């Protein structure tokens, strides 16, 4: 059984939910902890969101194959070093490599990355996507529960000013609906 499917041209990954919310000078990335193999939960407390780069000034979350994601984390850290911590430039260079390198092209993962200035989705298609801001908020999500979390976060945005509260509640909604997402959430926050 193939554990990915295509929706609107983007590959979606079963087994996780990652959400990014940027609002009011604060950026949050949250992710669940469930690792599934088919219909079996292999691990309930994986850490799919972490700080990377010099001084932990970048936060990143992944959906997809764990080993592939760690390879991408390492590559992104190297790009951040090469480009003096400039996330946008490092992300574009990683996306170029990811799309053109024979080895990296086969990696099955998506990433949401952020620093104090920018929130991005990185894909193996070579995409570096910055979510459209609605007012002062920008929201994005990936993974099998990504659409549930994204919808919940967008609904909460008009009523909640704290992006961490939005992300946590959106993750709770995704965990209630998506069988590949649990309620053991890791949250990382960066303030500008």
Question: What's the number of domains the chain is made of?
Answer: 1
Determine what percent of the chain is predicted with pLDDT higher than 70: 92
To 5 degrees, how large is the angle CA 133–CA 134–CA 140? 55
Residues near 131 by beta carbon (within 8 Å), at least 6 away in sequence: 20, 119, 121, 138, 139, 140
Residues near 24 by beta carbon (within 8 Å), at least 6 away in sequence: 136, 161, 162, 163
> Residue 178 maps to which CATH number?
3.60.20.10
pLDDT averaged over every residue in the chain: 88
Say yes or no to pLDDT of 169 above 70: yes
Determine what percent of the chain is predicted with pLDDT higher than 90: 64
Each residue's pLDDT tens digit, 75-132 = 899 999 999 999 999 999 998 888 888 777 777 788 999 999 999 999 878 889 999 9
Say yes or no to pLDDT of 1 above 80: no
Domain limits for position 125: 4-191
The answer to whether residues 120 and 114 touch, using CB atoms and an 8 Å cutoff, is yes
Q: What is the rounded distance in angstroms from the CA atom of residue 144 to the CA atom of residue 146?
A: 6
Q: What is the rounded distance in angstroms from the CA atom of residue 40 to the CA atom of residue 96?
A: 35
- Please, which residues bridge with residue 49 across strands? 61
Structure tokens at 163: 């992006």
Active site residues: 16
The pLDDT, as a whole number, for residue 16 is 87
Which band of pLDDT confidence, cut at 50, 70 and 90, is reported for residue 53? confident
Q: What is the rounded distance in angstroms from the CA atom of residue 113 to the CA atom of residue 52?
A: 10
Classify the phi-psi angles of 8: left when phi > 0, otherwise alpha if psi is within -120 to 50, otherwise beta: left
- Determine which of 6-10, 109-113, 132-136 has the lowest per-residue pLDDT on average: 6-10
Total residues belonging to the chain: 192
The pLDDT, as a whole number, for residue 12 is 45
Q: How many CB atoms neighbour CB 161 within 10 A?
A: 12
């Amino acid at each position: 059984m193939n554990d990915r499917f295509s929706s609107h041209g983007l590959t979606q990954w079963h087994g996780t939910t990652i959400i990014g919310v940027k609002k009011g000078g604060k950026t949050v990335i949250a992710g669940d902890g469930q690792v599934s193999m088919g219909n079996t939960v292999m691990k309930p407390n994986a850490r799919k969101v972490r700080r990377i780069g010099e001084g932990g000034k970048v936060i990143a979350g992944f959906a997809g194959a764990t080993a592939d994601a760690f390879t991408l984390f390492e590559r992104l850290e190297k790009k951040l070093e090469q480009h003096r911590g400039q996330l946008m430039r490092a992300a574009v260079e990683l996306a170029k490599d990811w799309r053109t390198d024979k080895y990296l092209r086969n990696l099955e993962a998506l990433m949401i990355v952020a620093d104090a200035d920018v929130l991005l989705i990185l894909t193996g298609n070579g995409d570096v996507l910055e979510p459209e801001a609605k007012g002062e908020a920008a929201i994005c999500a990936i993974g099998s529960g990504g659409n549930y979390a994204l919808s919940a976060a967008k609904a909460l945005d008009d009523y909640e000013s704290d992006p961490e509260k939005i992300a946590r509640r959106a993750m709770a909604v995704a965990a209630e609906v998506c069988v590949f997402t649990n309620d053991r959430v890791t949250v990382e926050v960066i303030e500008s």
